[in-house]
Amino acid sequence: MIMPGDEHDLPTVSVILPTYNRPAFTEKAVGSVLAQTFPDFELIVVDDGSTDGTSEAVEGFSDARLRVHHMNNRGPGPARNAGIEISSGQYIAFLDSDDAWVPEKLETQLDAMRASPEHALSHTEEVWYKGTRLVKPQRIHRKRNGDLFQWSLKLCSISMSTVMVKRTLFDEVGTFDPSLEVCEDYDLWLRVTARHPVLLVDAPLTIKQGGHFDQQSAKYVGLDRFRIYAIEKCLKAGGLSDDQRVLALEALERKCRIYGRGCLKYGRTQEGEHYLGLPEKYRPPRDGR
């Protein structure tokens, strides 16, 4: 059987770029990939059912390394999964359609991963823009190296557009949960960081563009209910160390308390009581029973 990365005619890196109705952003993102100093990659743009000129904007590029995969609109998680399935690189890098890379991104990150073969996932520093204004990330968003499980419970500690992973990682932890419309990255990073340390490439190689109306996080209220679901999955799946289980339960209790009280405040009594009582299912039996 020929496995990705075994043959010289297969690309070293597969870049997965999902998009939906973002022609201008997507054109900029694609251009930043095709301008990379490291040339041995394939770029798979997954058009997640766009109804505007997004596909036409992408197809305007003439580069043999670029291909467009069309699918019905299902959201970013399933779109990335589709890209992973048809990709062939030994390494996989992700880029959201509203972000971009500096030209040395792939080269620098691949060199770092080859120098640290024990790491299955790496991420990079990034520069943040809100519209045209350069913004300084809050301290809580500071990029970290090593054991990120505790930080990944608190928030999504790894930015999607900074990530490069070994393909084999997905065989171990699975891909994106297609049932999650949002926070699908939070869910995946929990599964990864529970098992592996993360390598930080300490250079601003990714340009993050925020503050626009069609960001996934802006479409939903009460995002903690999706994070609660992801933490429950971790607890149910097992495989956590004793320390990790304590951290996961503490995070579950904290998020359920905040979200449950919010539900009660707005008159959603049944929902609020459900979340306030949810952590009890995962607490160890009292008196050893």
Burial class of residue 74 (count of CB atoms within 10 Å of its CB; 0-12, 13-18, 19+): middle
Exposure of 118 in the CB half-sphere (CA atoms within 13 A):
4
Strands 91-94 and 164-166: what pairing? antiparallel
Q: Where are the alpha helices (DSSP H) in 116-156?
A: 149-154
Other CB atoms within 10 Å distance of the CB of residue 98: 21
Domain boundaries, the chain: 13-219, 224-288
Rounded Cα–Cα distance for residues 109 and 106 (Å): 5
Yes or no: say if 121 and 163 are a contact pair by the CB < 8 Å rule.
Answer: yes
Burial class of residue 209 (count of CB atoms within 10 Å of its CB; 0-12, 13-18, 19+): buried
Q: Where are the alpha helices (DSSP H) in the chain?
A: 23-34, 54-59, 76-86, 105-115, 149-154, 168-173, 184-193, 224-237, 242-265, 269-277
- The CA distances from residue 200 to 80, 120, 150, 190, in Å, are 22, 12, 16, 17
Radius of gyration, CA atoms only, the chain: 20
pLDDT 10s per residue in the chain (289 long)? 234 444 557 899 999 999 999 999 999 999 999 999 999 999 999 999 999 989 888 988 999 999 999 999 999 999 999 999 999 999 999 999 999 999 999 999 999 999 999 999 999 999 988 877 888 877 777 899 999 999 999 988 899 999 999 999 999 999 999 999 999 999 999 999 999 999 999 999 999 987 655 555 556 668 999 999 999 999 999 899 999 999 999 999 999 999 999 999 999 999 999 999 999 999 877 655 5
Residue 215, helix vs strand vs coil: coil
CATH of 13-219, one of 3.10.310.30, 3.30.565.60, 3.20.20.70, 3.90.550.10: 3.90.550.10
Yes or no: say if 126 and 102 are a contact pair by the CB < 8 Å rule.
Answer: no
Full-model pTM: 0.90
| DSSP assignment letter at 169 | H
pLDDT at res. 5: 43
Residue 89 corresponds to which amino acid? Answer: G
